Structure 1
């Protein structure tokens, strides 16, 4: 916690500033701070606040102010700092908790160092003391006691500045001081020591005439303003300058005691003449640093490990990389503070300004570092190479920790690295610095959800624990990014009347999200914007357009519709975005391809830039291109799985022409690609609906049935079909509506809800027949025939299959015909005509193998297995079922696997291999239950009950469960068979 008065009064805690409510509270706090450690009577507070004219409620208002201040101090864990004492109040602060106290400590340290001859270090302390001012002292706070403290602080600041300039003159920095002195005199014209310092600086800069003019200006000013001559000391300095007195020259050794010129005869310190200077430049550590313990240990171990013999002369180098706001600096500073004792010769720090428009130049940083290491200004070379050499010489034999924050690239860092293994370096950067020799890279990303909530609790307190669900949601909306979490936490901490849920509600609006993640000088938009604006225009354009992709992650090829560039150029642009951590990249374990991902907050930023910089018409065109590309590849995946545009109907939506070389690379295993991109494809259906692209919406949704049916993704099937149905009905797209109704019917058919399936199919026919949609009608007729067969109405089923066969033949759907032939073969087999069944299956198998339709081939082989099973050809049946199993397992078709295992289980049971039969049937039942394939589940239960070594009680239970399922499915033949078997077992 810091109480700051060297500017407008404020309380800060780490990187946030607390609001002090109202002028009265600020005045009370200022008076208490001026008297820190001593009690101030309430009457004195009242007199100061109301300037001797208090209202009758003054005492109670003072109490309110004190309560408000206690609450603020309590938020930073220092409620005990404000005590009630002897009719008044006492503010108890450590010197380091008040910036005015730190000022006094630095001045005292400087005085001690100067007395020890460590002049450069004394100067550094005084510069640090002056840097504590951030505005007019106690600006805006009234009252004579406050004014008296303000005058005292300003006077001590002036004296410290004068002393610092005196010391710098002893170091030979006269050329650098002239401009500063002239500016100081303009602000403080009556401070005589400043005039004396300017005269001496000008004289030592070989500007004797200017030094005498400076005296004459000072004399005229004093006479005009005060009616008196300047002091005799200033007159003696003028005469010494006129006579070029030797005592004005720089002597060989520095003076230890502070004396006023011209008596001060001092000279520059030689490097190391009075022992090494010890810089302490690290920023403050975070009291609420949370998580990252494994990384902290990893970096500490690296920086403190003994150097291998082969690495002597190389300082250990840890490079912490990560996106803006990920907490790289916090981690680096925390580790550095934990290692201070291991590096007793000091710590150097520089913010290199990486992604900013004007990053620090190595030469400028080296200048500051060399001064901190005790090198006098005139001794610092102008040449960069010479500065590097001097810097490394100064570090030789020392143990110094160097923290280089926010590096832009390797060329900015390399000149700042020491060449001694006694030192150590921590670098933070948004870019990956892979070419720094001997570096150990540590990647920092978002926190875990648990760490995120813990950080919020550290900042906000018990309100986080009181609303755990909302706290989790708040962490998610912040993307688990430390900077965003700190901003959100600071907003809640500064608004104690807000519930966590209120901020969550405000953050849920994506269009306002970045506006909400702002707290004083902390801003997520600015942090991301630094990286964005550092990029070339082509990279910025790609980032903006990536916001059009409504998907969790994406492959390289999807960016082609967004930017008309060759794949190699697109990959380079993506990797450039990865380098500056605006994009994340990872390899997919199954496909081996690279996937890219936008962090949620970067996506919001990119969308803002998209809306601001890209015309609306261009945005809509780009989205159409992307969605057309998804449809084109999904369509090609179905085509390669089925050998052509079989068993499917497509619409007229425009496809984006994905090159054949790309689809060949993607679709070596079509079903695996559909599985890999499942979430993105479902998102594309949603996005098409949101943009009113109904034709594309229904076409893509229907194409995805290829995956949903094979792998039992019934939730996604239902969602995408419902979306497509709503989209087509809104737009009056009757053909799309009819095809989507057919899709929903097929889904209910697979879910064994024949009643709902029939209603959907019937509705689809009412729409598709008048439109003359022969292909769609034929597919519906095929599925209605299956429902009739499931009910045991083989005559109606055959009529439906014959109609479907004719319709599919008329549109050239060969694989669709093969599928119907398999179904008809099943009926012929049930009717006791194995020869007819075998002929039909032979025709279907030829079609499938010619087309390369492996999935339907598996169905043909399964039906052949049933045929061989009926004829007692167990070896051929086993071969057919095993062939089915090989195909469906290669395609990860779980439904097909259940059917194949069931067939093998029946074969093993008939062949007397009862252990294998039981294992196969049990596994078939388990898989069927998982994929909701209830026919196979019930049939497996039935076959288990028929094994010769069955337990009768267990068999009865299996038959009861099988009969229940068959009854629910209206599978009358199987239902009757299960009931008869149950009666036999029970009897």
Structure 2
């Protein structure tokens, strides 16, 4: 478990952030984290949450919040990390897993390095320490206690920042510090030390007038804000700047890199680096890491660092920028050569050796002919010297060994599109796309920052359409700079047209198309085909089974091809989560590949590839449903052709069917979108309906709404009556889940008419089942009974066992409400038998839940707990969030009956939280109702009134009339009690349980639900 307080509070377990709940929970955990591994008094937690006005129940509310935090952490895989240690609590955090402690350790280590005259290494450690900060400490949580804690952390951050700047000024990095110091002074205008550092940096950069201007601004601010003159140190610095004092010159210092003593003078010091890049932007973390690696002292072979990335990511710019940053550590020179590995004619290592030897002072006639002799002579010249060698645009790792120095005092920086996996001992830094902020900043530096500020929205759009690629952004910026009359919105509009985008990203000799073409033309024919096919699916991520379908090849070959495309930097590999490997096509590569596909593939070939992909996706979606429900139950299939992958692959992918569907949910959505755009109605509605297996259980209501809407329009346009009816059924079912009863009934009626028109008995039975649900929730039991009976007959006619079980358990619910427990039991026995015959665990859990309701009706609370607990285990196993909230609600109600009030409160609160999270208003209302009963049992009448009022509003909003009537009756009783308390009517402690018993007995209708 990692705890982060240097920014917004966050707890991460196994790479996944843990949801912490509301603001009170976060405040409590923040205080515990700031005092990690130490006991924090409950009173301090109370002060943190309520400052000086805590309610009487503050300590018990703290206990509730701590319990909620423990549950969240335990679910995430971090149990028992919050310990009770009277008179408070303690948060256990292992060494190295609290970012504030790591920060302090790095700062302390930096001080040790300074004491040992290792300033450059100290600067690296301080940069690492400050890199841990993600924003204001503790995310500025509104608490007086936490403000003080955050203030102390921020002071340590500023002290480390000031020390880092002092060190880097001593290392001669004043040019690089000016922008950073300007921002720091603006953010912390009363820190005199920062003003002094800015003045010194400006002075050493040859900007004496600006340095004095910085002093005048600092003085004016201090006089205006505090009524004081600057301190003596700042005044002395101003005087020294005015006099041009030599005391401000860079101090003499030892070289950054230790090296063996030189045995002879070398008069020729090569300086082959290209000019520094004035507008270099972003890559702060990568740059710091590269500088650190190139500055490390080693006794092993000359360190080699490889900067790798796709075409256009800015590898050369980053390499040159870093080389200039560290050039002071290499007083014997810097060698640079481009091997043109991404071009049609790479430069041979033998030719590079000639250039390097000449730069080292050798005449052309003295240079031997063979590569081996040149390499030996080159290594001899670099022996005992501190030289930086930059090898740009390396195409193949075999080109590098002849150009490696033999001296440990040298360093080698390589840039390449390839990761050069065979290069021994190399460390790699991968460059991806620039984030939006850095991309917009780069665009502004080239096109003009004022233009970007004036059109921030179009600037962000351009950055997105350029895929965050540095080369594309440079081209876009250059085009804007050459056309000062253009608005950024104009270029954004031109780039939005995919058919013209690569043409728009051409300027002079710069062009994205040519850069990508070099990479594309260099790969195998099979891999080119795979890339052109991969972009046809239009999905967010590609897997090998998709690639195999699209390229019409087998799974193993598809996986190899996709991995080779990653090596060629034409695909991005996504971090392995334990499942099948996944890949993403970068934005501009996708545009390039679509252009190539349109030129090389016929419309028939493109359509065939897409149909193969959709056919495999349909088969896998069907099979996932079968494995979850035990067969083709409660689902309709269209006529779109399926394509069956190898059974071994299907078994591997669908080991956990709903988890696979969840992993591929955006693939399903993208496939529905694409089918709708192509007008392929049968694929579109078939996929949209198949996705319901996921959308129902994981409560992906937004995606459900989108796909049903797209497929409905597609089917209607195509005149596909059955598809139109299926999508009305899907949309109506979603509205039923959302408790929008009138709208649900309207959609379901449309579905019924459509299925009757096309003679679909199965579809009609499923619609009748859901219309019966609407009637039941709207308190129309006779009509619900009639429709359930019709639905049951239809489902029996088509052999849908699981659909029958659905209806039977709902009929059992009606029987319970009418007081016929024997009939309910018979119906549930039949439903349970159908579920077990089909192997439908999810629906079996629904039947078991109703069995728990039956047990509660018969006052057999232990049996109810057993049933609900079995439901909870089952639904959590498959990730069924809807089922989980119902199971928690049942367990809470059963615990109430057993007078286990703490357990009841915990379970009901969990159900309430989950219902609110997924938007299940019916369960939210029922949980509030049950919690209000619990409040009344505990004498908390005011809390009960509040909960019941909220529950009544919910039931009114979703047209649950019967439940609203129950809540209003309970609310009237609660208000009577509240009024009695207000006039000081005494209530004996022993009366509380008695009144709770009377209250519970008076609610027999609720027990029959």
With the length of structure 1 as denominator, give the TM-score of the two structures. 0.70
Deviations 1:903-930 (A, max 9, x none): 1111111111112212222221222222
* Structure 1 residue aligned with 2:410: 423
Q: Report the alpha carbon displacement of residue 357 of structure 1 after superposing the two structures with TM.
A: 2.2
* Structure 1 residue aligned with 2:502: 514
Aligned pair 1:886/2:883, yes or no?
no
Q: Aligned equivalents of 1:539 and 1:298: distance in 2?
A: 33
Q: Aligned equivalents of 1:315 and 1:662: distance in 2?
A: 46
Q: The residue matched to 1:436 in structure 2 has which SS?
A: coil
Q: Aligned equivalents of 1:968 and 1:298: distance in 2?
A: 57
Deviations 1:814-846 (A, max 9, x none): 111111111111111112221221122122222
* Structure 2 residue aligned with 1:971: 960
Deviations 1:671-705 (A, max 9, x none): 11111111111010010111121001000001111
* Structure 1 residue aligned with 2:823: 836
* Structure 2 residue aligned with 1:563: 551
* Structure 2 residue aligned with 1:284: 275
* Structure 2 residue aligned with 1:443: 430
Quick one: which of 971, 981, 984 aligns to 1:982? 971
Asked if structure 2 preserves the Cα contact closer than 8 Å seen for 1:865 and 1:881, the reply is yes
* Structure 2 residue aligned with 1:551: 539
Q: Aligned equivalents of 2:890 and 2:321: distance in 1?
A: 64
* Structure 2 residue aligned with 1:245: none
* Structure 2 residue aligned with 1:957: 946
Q: Aligned equivalents of 1:976 and 1:449: distance in 2?
A: 53
In structure 2, the gaps of 5 or more residues are 1-262, 977-1009
Deviations 1:632-654 (A, max 9, x none): 11111111111111100000101
* Structure 2 residue aligned with 1:134: none
* Structure 1 residue aligned with 2:309: 322
Q: Report the alpha carbon displacement of residue 969 of structure 1 after superposing the two structures with TM.
A: 2.9
Asked if structure 2 preserves the Cα contact closer than 8 Å seen for 1:354 and 1:406, the reply is yes
* Structure 2 residue aligned with 1:812: 799
Q: Aligned equivalents of 1:371 and 1:962: distance in 2?
A: 85
* Structure 2 residue aligned with 1:767: 754
Q: The residue matched to 2:393 in structure 1 has which SS?
A: strand
Q: Report the alpha carbon displacement of residue 978 of structure 1 after superposing the two structures with TM.
A: 1.7
Q: Aligned equivalents of 1:743 and 1:292: distance in 2?
A: 47
Q: Report the alpha carbon displacement of residue 273 of structure 1 after superposing the two structures with TM.
A: 11
* Bigger mean CA deviation after superposition, 950-959 or 483-492: 950-959
Asked if structure 1 preserves the Cα contact closer than 8 Å seen for 2:571 and 2:586, the reply is yes
* Structure 2 residue aligned with 1:709: 696
Q: Aligned equivalents of 1:324 and 1:978: distance in 2?
A: 65
Q: Aligned equivalents of 1:949 and 1:275: distance in 2?
A: 89
Aligned pair 1:790/2:781, yes or no?
no
Q: Report the alpha carbon displacement of residue 502 of structure 1 after superposing the two structures with TM.
A: 1.6
Asked if structure 2 preserves the Cα contact closer than 8 Å seen for 1:276 and 1:373, the reply is no
Aligned length: 711
Q: Report the alpha carbon displacement of residue 735 of structure 1 after superposing the two structures with TM.
A: 0.9
Instruction: Map 1:397-796 onto structure 2 (within 5 A).
Output: 397-459=384-446, 460-589=448-577, 591-796=578-783
Aligned pair 1:931/2:918, yes or no?
yes
Q: Aligned equivalents of 1:423 and 1:976: distance in 2?
A: 83
Q: Aligned equivalents of 1:892 and 1:741: distance in 2?
A: 27
Q: Aligned equivalents of 1:932 and 1:505: distance in 2?
A: 38
Q: Aligned equivalents of 1:471 and 1:599: distance in 2?
A: 19
Aligned pair 1:865/2:860, yes or no?
no
* Bigger mean CA deviation after superposition, 968-977 or 286-295: 968-977
Q: Aligned equivalents of 2:777 and 2:386: distance in 1?
A: 84
Q: The residue matched to 2:419 in structure 1 has which SS?
A: coil
Q: Aligned equivalents of 1:432 and 1:546: distance in 2?
A: 22
Q: Report the alpha carbon displacement of residue 538 of structure 1 after superposing the two structures with TM.
A: 1.3
Quick one: which of 331, 338, 343 aligns to 2:330? 343
* Bigger mean CA deviation after superposition, 919-928 or 872-881: 919-928
Asked if structure 2 preserves the Cα contact closer than 8 Å seen for 1:446 and 1:479, the reply is yes
Q: Report the alpha carbon displacement of residue 437 of structure 1 after superposing the two structures with TM.
A: 1.7
Asked if structure 2 preserves the Cα contact closer than 8 Å seen for 1:685 and 1:697, the reply is yes
Deviations 1:142-172 (A, max 9, x none): xxxxxxxxxxxxxxxxxxxxxxxxxxxxxxx
Q: The residue matched to 2:808 in structure 1 has which SS?
A: helix
Asked if structure 2 preserves the Cα contact closer than 8 Å seen for 1:878 and 1:904, the reply is yes
Q: Aligned equivalents of 1:566 and 1:357: distance in 2?
A: 32
Q: Report the alpha carbon displacement of residue 870 of structure 1 after superposing the two structures with TM.
A: 0.9
Asked if structure 1 preserves the Cα contact closer than 8 Å seen for 2:712 and 2:728, the reply is yes
Q: Aligned equivalents of 1:582 and 1:950: distance in 2?
A: 67
Q: Aligned equivalents of 1:640 and 1:361: distance in 2?
A: 59
Query: RMSD over aligned Cα, in angstroms?
Result: 1.7
Instruction: Map 1:105-504 onto structure 2 (within 5 A).
Output: 275-308=266-299, 311=300, 314-459=301-446, 460-504=448-492
Aligned pair 1:909/2:896, yes or no?
yes
Asked if structure 2 preserves the Cα contact closer than 8 Å seen for 1:944 and 1:950, the reply is no
Q: Aligned equivalents of 1:794 and 1:295: distance in 2?
A: 67
* Structure 2 residue aligned with 1:826: 813
Q: The residue matched to 2:428 in structure 1 has which SS?
A: strand
Deviations 1:98-130 (A, max 9, x none): xxxxxxxxxxxxxxxxxxxxxxxxxxxxxxxxx
Q: Aligned equivalents of 1:962 and 1:304: distance in 2?
A: 65
In structure 1, the gaps of 5 or more residues are 1-271
Deviations 1:918-976 (A, max 9, x none): 22222212222222222211111222222211422322222222223223333332222
Q: Aligned equivalents of 1:280 and 1:331: distance in 2?
A: 18
Q: Aligned equivalents of 1:684 and 1:513: distance in 2?
A: 24
Q: The residue matched to 1:339 in structure 2 has which SS?
A: helix
Q: Aligned equivalents of 1:651 and 1:295: distance in 2?
A: 51
Asked if structure 1 preserves the Cα contact closer than 8 Å seen for 2:306 and 2:426, the reply is yes
Asked if structure 2 preserves the Cα contact closer than 8 Å seen for 1:906 and 1:917, the reply is yes
Q: The residue matched to 1:560 in structure 2 has which SS?
A: helix
Q: Report the alpha carbon displacement of residue 280 of structure 1 after superposing the two structures with TM.
A: 1.9
Q: The residue matched to 2:414 in structure 1 has which SS?
A: strand
* Bigger mean CA deviation after superposition, 355-364 or 668-677: 355-364
Measured at CA, do residues 274 and 753 of structure 1 come closer, stay the same or move farther in structure 2, by a change above 3 Å?
closer
Asked if structure 1 preserves the Cα contact closer than 8 Å seen for 2:788 and 2:811, the reply is yes
Deviations 1:701-748 (A, max 9, x none): 011111111122221111111111111111111111111111111111
Measured at CA, do residues 982 and 305 of structure 1 come closer, stay the same or move farther in structure 2, by a change above 3 Å?
closer
Structure exhibiting the larger radius of gyration computed from Cα positions: 1
Asked if structure 1 preserves the Cα contact closer than 8 Å seen for 2:534 and 2:542, the reply is no
